[in-house]
Chain A
Amino acid sequence: QESHAVGKRPHNPTDLVEEGDLLLTLNIFYPVIFQKHKDHKPYQTVLVLGSQKLTELRDSISCVSDLQIGGEFSSQPDQAPEHISKDLYKSAFFYFEGIFYNDKRYPECRDLSRTIIEWSESHDRGYGNLQSVKMEDYTFNDLSLKIGFPYVFCHQGNCEHIIIITDIRLVHHDDCLDRNLYPLLVKKHWLCTRKCFVCKMYTARWVTNKDSLAPEDPCFFCDVCFRMLHYDAEGNKLGEFLAYPYVDPGIFN
Chain B
Amino acid sequence: SAVPGLQADCEELLGAFQQADTVRFERFAELWRERRFHTIFYGRIRALERNKLTKKTLELAQQYFLPPYTFQIRVGALYLLYGLYSTQLCQPKQKIRIALKDWPEIQRFQQDLIDSQHYDAAYIFRTLRLARAFHFTAMPKLLNYRTKKKIQENEFKEEFKDPSNRVNTLITNDVLEELMNIHDHYQKMKCVISADKSQPDKALSLIKDDFVVTLKDITLEHQEWQQNRMKLFQNAKETDEKSNKKEEGTMLESEGSERANALARIKYRSYSAVVEASKSRRHRQVKLESSESGTSCGKSPSRSKKNSRRPQPARRRDSLQ
Contacts and interface: CB of A to CB of B under 8 A. Distances in A.
A2 B51 contact: yes
A169 B95 CA distance: 12
Given A2-B51, A6-B92, A166 B135 contact: no
Nearest to B93: A174
Contact of A40 (B95, B137, B143, B149): B149
Contact of B147 (A6, A7, A40, A164): A40
A146 B132 CA distance: 27
A148 B143 contact: yes
B213 interface: no
B34 to A, nearest CB: 32
Contacts of A169: 97, 135-138
Given A7-B92, A169-B138, A174 B143 contact: no
Interface string A150-188: 000000000000001011111011100000000000000
A19 B6 CA distance: 35
B189 interface: no
Given A172-B132, A173-B132, A166 B145 contact: yes
B132 A147 contact: no
Nearest to B47: A2
Given A2-B47, A2-B48, A40-B149, A170 B135 contact: yes
Contacts of B138: 147, 167-169
A168 B135 CA distance: 10
Interface in A112-162: 147-148
A174 B145 CA distance: 24
Contacts of A166: 142-145
A172 B51 CA distance: 17
A27 B143 CA distance: 11
B145 A164 contact: yes
A234 interface: no
A168 to B, nearest CB: 4
Interface in B22-81: 47-48, 51
Contacts of B137: 167-170
Interface residues of A, number: 18
B106 interface: no
Interface residues of B, number: 19
B171 interface: no
Contact of A172 (B135, B142, B145, B149): B135
Nearest to B139: A147
A170 B144 CA distance: 19
B197 to A, nearest CB: 70
Contacts of A167: 137-139, 142-143
A39 interface: yes
Contacts of B135: 169-170, 172
Contacts of A39: 147
B147 A174 contact: no
Interface in B75-115: 92-93, 95, 97
A169 B145 CA distance: 18
A172 to B, nearest CB: 6
Contacts of B143: 147-148, 164, 166-167
B147 A172 contact: no
Contact of A27 (B47, B136, B145, B147): B145
Contacts of A173: 132
Nearest to B143: A166
B150 to A, nearest CB: 12
Interface in B254-275: none
Point out which of A27, A167, A173 has the most chain B C-beta atoms below 10 A from its C-beta. A167
Interface of B: 47-48, 51, 92-93, 95, 97, 132, 135-139, 142-145, 147, 149
13 contacts: A147-B138, A147-B139, A147-B143, A166-B143, A167-B143, A168-B138, A169-B97, A169-B137, A169-B138, A172-B95, A172-B135, A173-B132, A174-B92
Given A2-B51, A174-B92, 15 more contacts: A2-B47, A2-B48, A40-B147, A147-B138, A166-B144, A166-B145, A167-B138, A167-B142, A167-B143, A168-B138, A169-B135, A169-B138, A172-B132, A172-B135, A174-B132
Interface of A: 2, 6-7, 27, 39-40, 43, 147-148, 164, 166-170, 172-174
Which 3 A-B pairs rank lowest in CB-CB distance, beginning with the nearest?
Answer: A169-B137, A168-B138, A166-B143
